[in-house]
């Protein structure tokens, strides 16, 4: 029986420590354990962020990491906004390359991939620093071989929540564990009461994202998605999908989308919706649940436009189509 997504890890990870205003040389260590002082800043004040990206095996045997530079840039941004020690991007870049190269032969054949999880945590032992940043930290990179996060033949059910918030509005663009934890109670309720797969947060009427993915609506030749601001994560997959969609002739509208307009548009013939993210890639949404009423998106099934956009993206990741945007880094 296949293991659940993200639960099988390579036996080693790569780490670097920040102390005395400098980063240590990166080293390989066991991924089975991590020693922290119980007073570490991260355990009390949530000084932590992470990233998610993938490496893919191509038919020629080469292994290629998808859009690593963008993920490294976002990791640096998250660390900076959380007041963690400044990330050395060149160091992190090398750490990612080195750990993937070490386990290159373990990268699954497509459609599987090697999921890469860089993480940054504040480690200074000082429980009196609730209002001060950690001056010490640990940066490490874990690897886990994965398959699909969502089954490709499933159309997701989303609870449209116009009251709750995924996270603090000015922290949404930070990829921090606290943001995911704050969304859990909403997601547990949605699954229990509505058999929903995810919650689409629309606080104050505007669609933002789900607990773990960006949201796009495809209505005729228009793709509507929220414009980038501090309230939600600036997805690398989102950017990739929008770039490819423009090239296919779609009109991209990055603007506010109210819950009411979302429901109204979802009833248009041929309308499609999807979640985008590193894990999900592009997953069709078939049902919206709003104020205890269910609404099918289009015919409620995975639509041809979402399917084609996902195929276009996958073919670049898998080395089948030309990488005209230089999104791949060969290991």
Do 224 and 256 fall within a single domain? yes
Q: How many CA atoms within 13 Å lie on the side-chain side of 45?
A: 20
The residue-averaged pLDDT of 3-24 equals 95
Give start and end residues of each alpha helix (H) in 62-159. 68-81, 89-102
CA distance 273 to 98: 38
If one counts the domains in the chain, the total is: 2
pLDDT tens for 139-154 read 999 999 998 777 666 7
User: Is residue 151 domain-resident?
Assistant: no
pLDDT tens for 92-105 read 999 999 999 999 99
Q: Inform me whether the pLDDT recorded for 1 exceeds 70.
A: no
Last residue of a domain, one of 146, 168, 199: 146
Do 133 and 165 fall within a single domain? no
pLDDT tens for 178-200 read 999 999 999 999 999 999 999 99
- Asked whether 95 and 87 are in contact (CB, 8 A), the reply is no
What is the DSSP secondary structure assignment for residue 4, as one 8-state letter?
A: P
Which secondary-structure segment (H or E) carries 55?
Answer: strand 53-57
pLDDT tens for 309-319 read 999 999 999 99
Last residue of a domain, one of 96, 113, 146: 146
User: Is residue 324 domain-resident?
Assistant: no
Do 270 and 307 fall within a single domain? yes
Do 307 and 238 fall within a single domain? yes
- Domain holding 103, by residue range, is 12-146
Do 302 and 161 fall within a single domain? yes
Q: Inform me whether the pLDDT recorded for 169 exceeds 80.
A: yes
Residue 234 has a CB neighbour count (10 Å cut-off) of 17
The mean of the pLDDT values for the chain is 95
User: Is residue 258 domain-resident?
Assistant: yes
Do 229 and 290 fall within a single domain? yes
Q: Residue 113's domain is classified under what CATH number?
A: 3.30.470.10
CA distance 60 to 54: 18
Do 266 and 209 fall within a single domain? yes
User: Is residue 295 domain-resident?
Assistant: yes
Give the model's pLDDT for residue 205: 64
Do 142 and 161 fall within a single domain? no
Cis peptide before 111 (omega within 30 of 0): yes
User: Is residue 247 domain-resident?
Assistant: yes
> Checking DSSP bridges between strand 53-57 and strand 22-23, what pairing results, if any?
unpaired
> Checking DSSP bridges between strand 156-161 and strand 281-290, what pairing results, if any?
parallel
CA distance 268 to 166: 28
- Asked whether 84 and 23 are in contact (CB, 8 A), the reply is no
Q: Inform me whether the pLDDT recorded for 10 exceeds 90.
A: yes
> Checking DSSP bridges between strand 328-330 and strand 63-66, what pairing results, if any?
antiparallel
Do 161 and 126 fall within a single domain? no
Task: Taking the CA atoms of 237, 239, 240 and 241 in sequence, report the sign of the dihedral they define.
Answer: positive
pLDDT tens for 49-75 read 999 999 999 999 999 999 999 999 999
């Amino acid at each position: 029986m296949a293991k659940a997504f993200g639960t099988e890890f390579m036996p080693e990870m790569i780490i670097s420590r920040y102390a005395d205003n400098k980063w240590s040389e990166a080293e390989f260590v066991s991924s089975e354990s991590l020693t922290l002082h119980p007073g570490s800043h991260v355990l009390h004040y949530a000084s932590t962020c992470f990233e998610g990206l993938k490496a893919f095996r191509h038919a020629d045997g080469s292994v290629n990491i998808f859009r690593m530079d963008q993920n490294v840039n976002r990791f640096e941004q998250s660390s900076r906004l959380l007041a963690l020690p400044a990330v050395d991007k060149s160091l992190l870049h090398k750490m990612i390359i080195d750990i993937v190269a070490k386990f290159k032969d373990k990268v699954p054949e497509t459609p599987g991939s090697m999921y890469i999880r860089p993480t940054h945590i504040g480690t200074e032992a000082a429980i009196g620093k609730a209002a001060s940043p950690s001056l010490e930290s640990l940066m490490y990179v874990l690897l886990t071989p994965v398959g699909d996060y969502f089954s490709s033949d499933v159309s997701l059910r989303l609870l449209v929540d116009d009251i709750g918030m995924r996270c603090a509005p000015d922290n949404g663009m930070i990829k921090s564990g606290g943001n995911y934890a704050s969304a859990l109670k909403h997601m547990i309720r949605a699954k229990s009461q509505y058999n929903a797969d995810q919650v689409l947060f629309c606080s104050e009427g505007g669609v933002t994202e789900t607990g773990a993915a960006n949201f796009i609506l495809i209505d005729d030749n228009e793709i509507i998605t929220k414009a980038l601001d501090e309230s939600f994560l600036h997805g690398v997959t989102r950017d990739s999908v929008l770039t490819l969609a423009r090239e296919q002739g779609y009109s991209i509208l990055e603007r506010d989308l109210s819950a009411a307009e979302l429901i109204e548009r979802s009833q248009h013939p041929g309308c499609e919706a999807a979640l985008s993210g590193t894990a999900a890639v592009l997953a069709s949404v078939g049902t919206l649940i709003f104020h205890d009423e269910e609404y099918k998106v289009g015919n409620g099934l995975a639509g041809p436009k979402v399917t084609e956009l996902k195929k276009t993206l996958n073919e670049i990741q898998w080395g089948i189509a030309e990488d005209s945007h230089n999104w791949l880094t060969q290991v």
